[in-house]
Amino acid sequence: MEYTPPLTHRAAAQLGVSVEKFTNWRWQMRHQCQTLDDLQGYLALSPTEQQGLTESQALFRTGVTPYYAALIAQTDPALQEALRLQVIPRKEEAFDALGIYDPLSEVDHSPVREVVHVYPDRVAFCVAMLCPVYCRYCYRKRRDEETGLHYNRQIIDRGIAYIASQPSIRDVLITGGDPLIASDAAVEELLQRLRAIPHVEIIRIHTRTPVALPYRITNELVEMIQRYHPVWVNTHFNSALELTPEAGEALERLVNHGIPVGNQSVFLRGVNDTVEKMHDLCRSLVRFRVRPYYLFHPHLVAGTAHLRPSVQTGLAVMKGLRGKLSGLAIPTYVLDTPSGKVPLQHNHMLGQDEQDLLLEDLHGEIWREKGVW
Ligand SMILES: *Cc1c(COP(=O)(O)O)cnc(C)c1O
Ligand code: SF4
């Protein structure tokens, strides 16, 4: 990297490591903050975070890249909450009466355990469970033991064999965990094997690395990926604060190599649950040529009661975006169910009056569209 963005520059200097080291994604993973002490090297932790870090570890492990920890540390303290809530456990994780471990009953929908086949034409293929950060709301918390942390030949062979045996599958989402926490060679082998299946038309990679480990998106990686086109990437920004120059560089690299990038956010209390925050996030994404794709209403995942806003709030936020943002920047608000994603939408169609269609316009007024409907 010739130009070093300020966050990277400052963080490396504070740690006393070279920029070259700090921007090496393997170094970042080796130094992932997993304990209270690790995180305290970057941040002053609140009492509820300290308690969360000591008591909630049994529920789901903690992991924060030095990059993301530095991002939190360098963000205005008044705004940090939106980042902290995503990755630092709180004592509230232990107080969730409703949350369950597999809210999508993915286990029932997995013909082989790592391939989730809900729709006829597409599957989610969970290849490995390592992540750059462990999002406290993750609904795949329980998958660890089944899939394993690292790419594993047996799992991949079995998934590939299943996909090859089902000619209706045209679209494979490679997910996890984060499938880019692996060597370029391992990712390439996977892409190669999927490309060798004639009925697989498109491949999608779901990764949070542009958000939490942007240094993973190297030139070598994108040059390799582009040999297996059409490959799409879906990433997972939840807050405009995450769209740093480092993240921008990663996104630009992907898009410049012909990889369309979409974004899937999760609707989270304290993170993006206001019109203003969602507006900033979506507008920032399109500036980086990233299309806001889905906004997921959070599931009843164990340990997330404090992060789940109501569906009413979600509908109000989405309604607030319409008219203020280009349609390009507006994601579809959905709830994922065991049988697929269901859109959650404010209904603007009020009904019919004789031959006319009655619509609620963006100012809340009734518009009567004349004609035969
Ligand atoms: C979300 C999802 C897909 C992809 O759905 P799209 O709407 O095409 O993005 C495929 N399979 C499973 C199991 C999913 O959860
Ligand atoms: S990156 Fe994805 S799979 Fe990993 S913890 Fe976050 S939501 Fe879960």
CA of 244 to the centre of ligand 2 (A): 20
Q: 76, 94, 112 — which closes off a domain?
A: 94
Nearest atom, ligand 2, residue 134 CA: 5
Quote the tokens at residue 162. Answer: 């299943």
Give the orientation angle of helix 275-287 with respect to helix 311-321, to 10 degrees: 50
- Among protein residues, the one whose CA lies closest to atom 2 of ligand 2: 177
pLDDT at position 107, please? 63
Residue at 357 is within a domain? yes
Residue at 228 is within a domain? no
- Among protein residues, the one whose CA lies closest to atom 8 of ligand 2: 138
Task: State if residue 118 touches ligand 1 by the CB under 6 angstroms criterion.
Answer: yes
- Contact 141/96 with Cβ under 8 angstroms? no
* CA distances, 198 to each of 167, 233, 341 (Å): 9, 21, 27
Ligand 1, pocket-test mutation among 102, 107, 113, 122, most atoms within 8 A of CB: 122
Length of the chain, in residues = 373
Q: Please tell me whether the peptide bond between 230 and the residue prior to it is cis, using omega within 30 degrees of 0.
A: yes
pLDDT at position 102, please? 66
Residue at 42 is within a domain? yes
Nearest atom, ligand 1, residue 234 CA: 9
Task: State if residue 122 touches ligand 1 by the CB under 6 angstroms criterion.
Answer: yes
pLDDT at position 58, please? 73
Nearest atom, ligand 1, residue 293 CA: 9
| Spatial CA neighbour of 240 closest among 272, 203, 208, 200 | 272
Nearest atom, ligand 1, residue 116 CA: 13
Q: 94, 114, 140 — which closes off a domain?
A: 94
pLDDT at position 101, please? 64
Quote the tokens at residue 109. Answer: 């929908």
Task: State if residue 138 touches ligand 2 by the CB under 6 angstroms criterion.
Answer: yes
Backbone angles phi, psi at 206, to 5 degrees: -100, 115
Task: State if residue 126 touches ligand 1 by the CB under 6 angstroms criterion.
Answer: no
The string over 53-73, giving b where at least 16 C-beta atoms fall within 10 Å of a residue's C-beta and e elsewhere, is beebeebbebbbbbbbbbbbb
**Could you give the CA distance from residue 71 to residue 51 in angstroms, rounded to a whole number?**
22
Residue at 264 is within a domain? no
CA of 131 to the centre of ligand 1 (A): 20
**Which sign does the torsion angle of CA 87, 137, 245, 226 carry?**
positive
- Among protein residues, the one whose CA lies closest to atom 7 of ligand 2: 138
- In total, how many domains does the chain have? 2
| Spatial CA neighbour of 174 closest among 101, 120, 227, 116 | 116
**Could you give the CA distance from residue 74 to residue 55 in angstroms, rounded to a whole number?**
27
Question: In what side-by-side order are the strands of the sheet with 202-206?
Answer: 115-119, 122-128, 171-176, 202-206, 231-235, 261-266, 290-296, 332-337, 340-343
Ligand 2, pocket-test mutation among 68, 140, 144, most atoms within 8 A of CB: 140
Residue at 119 is within a domain? no
SS3 342: strand
| Spatial CA neighbour of 277 closest among 318, 312, 248, 236 | 318
Supply angle C-alpha 42, 178, 311, rounded to 5. 85
Residue at 17 is within a domain? yes
**Could you give the CA distance from residue 85 to residue 107 in angstroms, rounded to a whole number?**
28
**Could you give the CA distance from residue 140 to residue 81 in angstroms, rounded to a whole number?**
23
Task: State if residue 119 touches ligand 1 by the CB under 6 angstroms criterion.
Answer: yes
Q: 78, 94, 110 — which closes off a domain?
A: 94
pTM: 0.95
Residue at 73 is within a domain? yes
Ligand 2, pocket-test mutation among 34, 126, 181, 208, most atoms within 8 A of CB: 208
Q: Which residues of the chain have pLDDT under 70?
A: 1-2, 97, 100-109, 142-146, 372-373
Task: State if residue 140 touches ligand 2 by the CB under 6 angstroms criterion.
Answer: yes
pLDDT at position 106, please? 65
Ligand nearest to the CA of 128: 2
Domain span holding position 370: 347-373
**Distance between first and last Cα of the chain:** 59
pLDDT at position 338, please? 87
Beta strands (DSSP E) in the chain are 115-119, 122-128, 171-176, 202-206, 231-235, 261-266, 290-296, 332-337, 340-343, 349-353, 356-360, 366-369
Residue at 194 is within a domain? no
